[in-house]
């Protein structure tokens, strides 16, 4: 679940691998939007079927559980060597052991990374050696109930969801360039629709703190980063963002019971269960895996996807589900955010 009670749910709930956009396994270019043959509830293993990632190297942040773990499973079973970047590497040990027993799977290991701590990000990037083919910026936090700052004075959701990943990607730029054809995948959210990036007060120093506004702003920043990454096109690095849809994972750990009831996923007794249109973690990870590994996305950059398709642009809050806000695709805002983020890291 990556949006808030104020947003609409997706109504594209088909599970057929061959959606309305064609069945030949190729991207269809009949419209301005890039489409694929995978339905909204396709599983991660489906979208990567027959793809061989042997010899490729990937980093998945927050890869010990939820969507991240399913992303790791899909990439590793396709042959990729995967580094799980997580605050507590020991929490990834069950997944590491599971995949070590899978015939043909690439090596999986875990390394420490705290995205809210610039020293931790610096340590991770300094010790990385060799090329990097895939970076999946999956880790995130949502709707912290009170304004929380990092030691450097950054609002925690912006620090974790965007600034930490920005520092990670820029710190690994040489490794991504050296891969010869690298992909960055950024997990965003439909919550970005109502929350443009506030350049005047990004850390809620003056405006009243709102958990969902802070979360949504960080997710707009995620998308703007992929637009700004067009400056790396000459290095053959692509970057795309996505909304995984509605899924119950540890992402909701900071959401109070009343809000969970407003979502309709908690009953009066406190029992949590998904609604019919919700996805499983493996289904939610499918779009991440599609962008990370499918040949259908070769050379595609600076776009936003949901339900395994490129999303339409929404210029106002329309009474329709889904889409990507124009403010999140604005190249001028993307360049301004890139400069802001670079300066923030230099002064941290």
Tens digit of each residue's pLDDT, the chain (348 residues): 444 333 323 322 333 333 333 333 333 333 489 999 999 999 999 999 999 999 999 999 999 999 999 999 999 999 999 999 999 999 999 999 999 999 999 999 999 999 999 999 999 999 999 999 999 999 999 889 999 999 999 999 999 999 999 999 999 999 999 999 999 999 999 999 999 999 999 999 999 999 999 999 999 999 999 999 999 999 999 999 999 988 765 555 555 656 656 656 666 666 666 666 678 999 999 999 999 999 999 999 999 999 999 999 998 765 667 899 999 999 999 999 999 999 999 987
Q: Give the angle 154-287-19 at the CA atoms, nearest 5°.
A: 150
Say whether 209 is catalytic.
no
- From the candidates 215, 246, 278, 304, which is the catalytic residue? 215
**Could you tell me the CA-to-CA distances from 82 to 124, 152, 160, 211, 284 in Å, in that order?**
14, 30, 21, 33, 19
Is 13 buried (19+), middle (13-18) or exposed (0-12) by CB count in 10 A? middle
The two three-digit tokens of residue 198, written as one number? 């506030």
Could you tell me where the beta strands, DSSP code E, fall in the chain?
Answer: 57-61, 81-86, 108-112, 134-137, 182-187, 237-243, 304-306, 309-310, 313-314, 324-325
The two three-digit tokens of residue 12, written as one number? 């594209």
- Phi first, then psi: give them for residue 37, nearest 5 degrees: -80, 10
Is 276 buried (19+), middle (13-18) or exposed (0-12) by CB count in 10 A? exposed
């Amino acid at each position: 679940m990556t949006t808030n009670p104020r947003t609409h749910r997706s109504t594209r709930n088909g599970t057929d691998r061959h959606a309305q956009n064609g069945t030949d396994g190729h991207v269809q270019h009949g419209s301005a939007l890039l489409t694929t043959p995978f339905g909204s509830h396709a599983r991660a293993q489906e979208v990567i079927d027959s793809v061989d990632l042997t010899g490729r190297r990937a980093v998945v942040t927050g890869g010990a559980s939820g969507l991240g773990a399913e992303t790791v499973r899909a990439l590793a079973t396709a042959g990729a060597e995967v580094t799980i970047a997580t605050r507590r590497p020991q929490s990834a040990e069950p997944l590491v052991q599971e995949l070590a027993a899978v015939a043909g799977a690439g090596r999986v290991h875990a390394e420490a990374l705290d995205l809210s701590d610039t020293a931790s990000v610096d340590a991770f990037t300094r010790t990385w050696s060799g090329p990097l083919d895939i970076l999946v910026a999956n880790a995130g936090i949502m709707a912290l109930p009170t304004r929380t700052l990092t030691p450097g004075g950054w609002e925690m959701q912006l620090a974790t969801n965007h600034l930490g990943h920005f520092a990670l990607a820029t710190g690994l730029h040489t490794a991504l360039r050296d891969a010869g054809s690298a992909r960055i995948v950024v997990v965003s959210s439909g919550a970005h629709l109502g929350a443009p990036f506030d350049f005047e007060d990004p850390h809620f120093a003056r405006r009243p703190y709102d958990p969902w506004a802070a979360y949504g702003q960080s997710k707009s920043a995620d998308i703007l980063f992929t637009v700004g990454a067009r400056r790396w096109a000459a290095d053959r690095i692509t970057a795309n963002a996505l909304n995984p849809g509605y899924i119950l994972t540890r992402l909701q750990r900071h959401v109070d019971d009343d809000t969970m009831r407003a979502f309709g996923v908690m009953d009066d007794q406190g029992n949590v269960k998904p609604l019919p249109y919700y996805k499983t973690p493996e289904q939610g990870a499918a779009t991440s895996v599609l962008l990370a590994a499918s040949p259908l996305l070769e050379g595609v950059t600076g776009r936003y996807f949901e339900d395994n398709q490129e999303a339409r642009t929404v210029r106002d809050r329309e009474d329709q589900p889904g889409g990507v806000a124009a403010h999140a695709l604005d190249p001028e805002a993307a360049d301004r955010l890139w400069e802001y983020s670079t300066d923030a890291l230099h002064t941290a």
